[in-house]
Amino acid sequence: MPIASVEQATGIARATLRIWERRYGFPRPERDLRDERSYGPEQVEKLRLIAALVARGLRPGRLVPLPTEQLVALADATAGTHAPGPAVDGDDPVLDLLRAHDAQGLAKHLDESVRSLGLAGFITGRMPALNELVGEAWARGALQVYEEHLYTEVMEQLLHHALLQLPGAGMQAPPNVVLATLPTESHGLGLLMAQAMLALQGCRCISLGVRVPVAELLAAAAAFDADIVGLSFSASHSPSLAMRGLEQLRGELPTRVALWAGGSCPAIGRRKIAGVQAIREIGAVPAAVAAWRATNPSPAA
């Protein structure tokens, strides 16, 4: 079925289909003889289910990665329900501030949230919901690309500032953690979230940022005497590339160095790789650190 027919059959705009394809890795159209997108019946059926569930108030970012069987179960469980109001975005002031291009107001609002919730509470509670809300607003065309970029920039500045306020190196203890993303991942907000949560646990942590070649990551792990290498994968990252990169890195890292993978990529946690610990939610970081310390006691302890 060509994309125009899919749009008519599902009610999902062509632009949205293309955005989901880039962001979530679904749908995965074939190409016809004219190199135009062509969708098989299984994909069209899944898109129909997603469209129906979105109309009932569920968010696309949570639906698109799910297999069809789970979508069918959700459709049965939510039969007869509808979205609670006309605005899918809700009344979150962050979206209003972004649309008003009020960077200063946005920074002040987020800073107040950090002060109210504490840094850990903000990162584990408020921030994941905001990331999803902003991403989906962009995917539907409710936010412009530059407005999403503004959100990311303000949030990154906020976290960098919060990290500077934490206790210094004298308070740090193992594990030594090196954070990065692989060359195929350009989103760095997840790294900052992980770095802040690790710092709150007193870990020695260094972030190399995004798009780090595997050879350089291996060299950094050796140079910084890493106990753990942590990688972040966004929802838009290709699951196959994520698995391939993790397998390569696990094969080349020393066995004593743990490899953690986190983020919203659907592949993380769904397919297990020997020697790779999946951390699906940022709130799981403290327990993961505690478990590492329990099995790797320091000489002082």
22-31 pLDDT, tens digit each: 888 889 999 8
* Count of structural domains within the chain: 3
Determine the pLDDT at residue 280: 83
From 1, 89, 108, select the one nearest 45 (Cα to Cα).
1
Task: Name which of 239, 242, 232, 227 is nearest 266 in CA terms.
Answer: 239
Q: How far, in Å, are 139, 172, 201, 202 from residue 167 at the CA level?
A: 38, 8, 11, 8
Sign of the CA dihedral running 75, 79, 85, 91: negative
Q: Cβ contacts of residue 109 below 8 Å, gap of 6+?
A: 93, 94, 97
Is it the case that residue 121 has pLDDT exceeding 80? yes
The share of the chain scoring above pLDDT 90, in percent, equals 48
Question: For residue 81, what pLDDT is reported?
Answer: 58
Mean pLDDT (whole number) for 234-249:
86
- Is the pLDDT at 239 greater than 90? The verdict is no
Q: Specify whether 221 is located in the same domain as 275.
A: yes
The range of the structural domain enclosing residue 209 comes to 170-295
Burial tier of 198 (Cβ tally within 10 Å: 0-12, 13-18, 19+): buried
**Cα–Cα distance between 136 and 142 in angstroms, integer?**
8
- pLDDT at residue number 177: 97
pLDDT value of position 89:
44
Rg (CA), the chain: 21
Q: Given CA atoms 251, 252, 255, 260 in this order, what sign does their dihedral have?
A: negative
Same domain for 101 and 60: no
Q: Among 93-102, 105-114, 176-185, 266-275, which is the least confidently predicted range? A: 266-275
Place of tokens 């962001």: 23
Same domain, yes or no, for 180 and 288?
Answer: yes
Same domain, 31 and 138: no
Is residue 158 domain-shared with residue 219, that is, in the same domain?
A: no
**Mean model confidence pLDDT for the chain:** 86
pLDDT score recorded for residue 90: 47
Q: Which residues pair with 207 in a beta bridge?
A: 179
Contact 178, 220 (CB under 8 A): yes
More confident position, 135 or 120:
120
Residue 98 lies in a domain: yes
User: Which residue, 273, 184, 193, is CA-closest to 233?
Assistant: 184
CATH number at residue 125: 1.10.1240
Higher confidence at residue 132 or residue 227? 227
**Of the segments 76-90, 245-259, 267-281, which one has the largest average pLDDT value?**
245-259
- Return the half-sphere exposure (C-beta side, CA atoms, 13 A cut-off) of residue 137: 26
Between CA 185 and CA 267 the distance in angstroms is: 14
**pLDDT tens column, 29-79:** 998 888 888 999 899 889 888 888 887 778 888 888 888 888 888 887 876
* Residues shown for the chain: 301
Who has greater pLDDT, 265 or 112? Answer: 112
Pairing of strands 173-180, 203-207: parallel
Residues 115 and 31 in one domain: no
